[in-house]
Chains A and B, each alone.
Chain A
C-alpha cells in the first residue's frame, strides 16, 4: 500500500507544479503590470505626492485628505454627472449602430468582407489624429459640419459644437461613438456567427418573419455577448481622456470635464499627484463594480452556450 501511494502522490505533486508553471507567466505579468501600478496608485492616493516627491522620494501620508479634497470639490458632482452622461450616451450610440451594422454584415453580398474590414479603420487611427480631425470638422465657424448644415438650410447660424456648454458634451459623445462603433460591430458580429443557422431555419419553418426571428432567436442567444460588449464598453468609456482633451480640452467652462480628465488635470497640470491618484481610484472602484457584472455575465454566457450544445 505504502509503496504504491507514494508515486501517486509524487505524480500528483508533479502535476501541481506543472500547473503552477503554466500559470506563472500570466500571474507574474499580471502582478507586475497590473498589480503593481494599482497598488502604487492606491498608496499614492493616501500620500502628499507632489513634483518634489519625484526628486526627494518623500511623500508624507495624509490619510484620507486627498479623497476628502477630491470628493468635496465643487467640480466633482458635475464631473461625475458628465462622466455618467458621456458613458451612457457613448454606449447607446455605439451599441445600437454597432448591432445594426453587425446584422447588416451577416448577409452575404459582394465586397461585404472588404467593407467590414474597412469599418475597422476608425479603430486603427490614433485617437489624437481622429480627435484633431473631428475638432477641425466641428469648428463652429469654419468646420465642414456646420457648412453642410448651413448649405442644407438646416441651421442658419450653425451649431456651436465646441463652444456651447450644452452642445460640447454632445460633440464629444458623437466622436466617441464614431470611435467605438468598430469594436461593437466586431464583437457583436462574432457573437452572431456563433448562433447555429439551423435555429433560423426552424424559426422560418414555424412561420417567423425577420422581426420575430430576431426577437426570439437572435436576441436571446446574443444576450450574453451583449452583456460583455456593454460592460467592456463602460470600462473603456469611463477612462477616455485623449478624445476629450483633444476635442474640447474639458471645456468650455468645464462642460466636458469628466472624472478621467480631472485626474489628468490634477496630476499633470497641477502636479497634485496624490489627488490625481485619488480621483483615479474613484474611477477604478466604479469600473470594478461593472467588472463584477461582467464576470457574472460571462458565467451566464457559458451556461447558456452549454445549454445549446
Chain B
C-alpha cells in the first residue's frame, strides 16, 4: 500500500552519487572549476501561507546575498514536509538548507541525514537553553531556530470589560472568568484539544505548569491539569467542539466573537490586527496557584544543513543558516512574525522595543522543548497525551484512567 522507499532505486542513486564523486575528484585534479564556485543553494520549508512566504523569501535571498549564493526556495504544506524529507533522504536529494518543525528534529537527526553545525564553526552562544535544546540531538547541535514562539492566553478586552471580569491568572480564576463570559452563542474559552500533536501542544502548558511530566503521565499533577479542561467543557464554558478544532479554527471562533478568550500563538497576531473592531490583548497562560510561572512548550522551526555530496554547498548553506540566526536577522524576523528572538540578549532588547510581545518574551524564557526529555520517543508520548485528552473530554474515561492508558501508549504502544 505505502511504499515510500525503493531500495533498488536507492542503490542506483548511490552508484550514481559515487560515480559523480569520482568524476568530481577527477575534475578537481584536472584543474576544473574550483569547488568553491557554488552559485545557488536549495532550501525547503513549510512557509506556504502569505505573507509569511514572501517575507521568508526576502529574508532567505538577503542572507543568500551575504553568502554569495542565490537561494531557490521550495515551500510545501506542513503536513507533507516530513514525508517529503523522508523521500528525499532515501533518494539522496535533500535540499542544501532544510527547515524542520522543532519536535521533528530528533527523528530526522537520528536517521543521520543531518550534519552537526559545529563542523561549520557556527556560533550558538547566547541562545536561550530551551531553544538550543530543541535543535540538539545526542549532545550535538543540528539545528538552530532564529526565533521561538509559544502559546498564551488571548482575550477580548471589550467582552471582559463588559462582564466585569479581570484577566485570569490562576486556574480558578480562569474557570470563573470563562463561566461568566459565556453567553448564548458565545463561549468563555476556546482551545485546541483535537486528536493531533496540536492538541498535545496546547495541553503541555497546563501539564507542565502543574508539575506534570511527559515521562510519567499517570500522576495526580497530570490528572489535575486534564480535569481543568474537563471541567471547562462540562460547565459549558468551553464548546465540546474543541475536540475537533485546529488552532486556526480556535482563532476563527475568537475573531468571530464566538469565544471571549483563546489559547493560541503569536503567529495569529497579524490576522487579528487586521480586524480594527476587535480589541484584544495577550496574557500568560493561567497557572494552578497564584505566583507561579507558566511553563509553556517551545514552538518554532529549526534550520539544518543535511548531508550532501558537496562540501562546498554545505558550507554555503551553513553561511546562510548563520546569517538567519545572526542577532540582526533574528530581531527583524521576530518583528515580522511576532515571535521571540532566540538569543536572550536580543530578546531582552526586543521586549523593550515591542511591549505587546512582553508576555511572550517572558513565557519563552521559561519554555521547554517538547523533545527535551524523551527525544525520539516524544511522538509516542504525544500520541498518548492527545488520546487521553479526547477520552477524558468525551467522558469515555476519567482523567486518571485516560492518563494511565496514555502512559501505556507512551512506553509500549
The interface of chain A, by Cβ under 8 A from chain B, is 36-38, 40-41, 44, 51-57, 69, 73, 135, 139-142, 160, 162-165, 248-255, 263, 265, 267-273, 276-277, 280-281, 283-284
Contact = CB atoms under 8 A, between A and B. Distances in A.
A25 B388 CA distance: 51
B3 interface: yes
Given A40-B3, A252-B393, A263-B1, A55 B89 contact: yes
B148 to A, nearest CB: 23
Contacts of A162: 241, 243-244
Interface in B84-140: 86-87, 89-90, 107-108, 110-113
Contact of B244 (A73, A135, A283): A135
Given A163-B241, A249-B244, A51 B194 contact: no
A270 B379 contact: yes
A142 B390 contact: no
Given A253-B396, A270-B379, A55 B112 contact: yes
Interface of B: 1-7, 10, 82-83, 86-87, 89-90, 107-108, 110-113, 194-197, 239-241, 243-244, 258, 379-380, 383, 387, 390-391, 393-394, 396, 413
Given A51-B108, A271-B107, A251 B243 contact: yes
A57 B6 CA distance: 9
B337 to A, nearest CB: 26
A272 B6 CA distance: 17
Contacts of B3: 36-37, 40-41, 44
B244 A251 contact: yes
Contacts of B195: 249-254
Contacts of A251: 194-195, 243-244, 390
Contact of B413 (A44, A69, A277): A69
A163 B243 contact: yes
B57 to A, nearest CB: 26
Contacts of A40: 3, 6
B387 A54 contact: no
A163 B394 contact: yes
A57 B10 contact: yes
Given A270-B383, A273-B2, 20 more contacts: A54-B90, A55-B89, A57-B5, A73-B413, A142-B258, A249-B194, A251-B390, A252-B243, A252-B390, A252-B394, A253-B195, A253-B243, A253-B391, A253-B393, A268-B83, A269-B379, A270-B380, A277-B2, A280-B1, A281-B1
Contact of A277 (B1, B7, B108, B391): B1
19 contacts: A37-B3, A41-B2, A51-B110, A53-B5, A54-B89, A55-B111, A162-B243, A163-B394, A165-B394, A165-B396, A249-B244, A252-B244, A253-B387, A253-B390, A253-B394, A255-B394, A267-B2, A270-B413, A284-B1
A56 B112 contact: yes
A54 B383 contact: no
Contact of B1 (A41, A69, A141, A164): A41
Given A37-B1, A249-B195, A253-B394, A163 B89 contact: no
A267 B112 CA distance: 19
A52 B85 CA distance: 12
Nearest to B249: A139
Top 7 closest pairs, chain A to chain B, by CB = A55-B111, A280-B1, A251-B195, A253-B390, A163-B240, A40-B3, A55-B89
B87 to A, nearest CB: 7
Nearest to A166: B394
A142 to B, nearest CB: 7
Contacts of B7: 57
Contacts of A276: 2
A254 B387 contact: yes
Contacts of B196: 249, 269
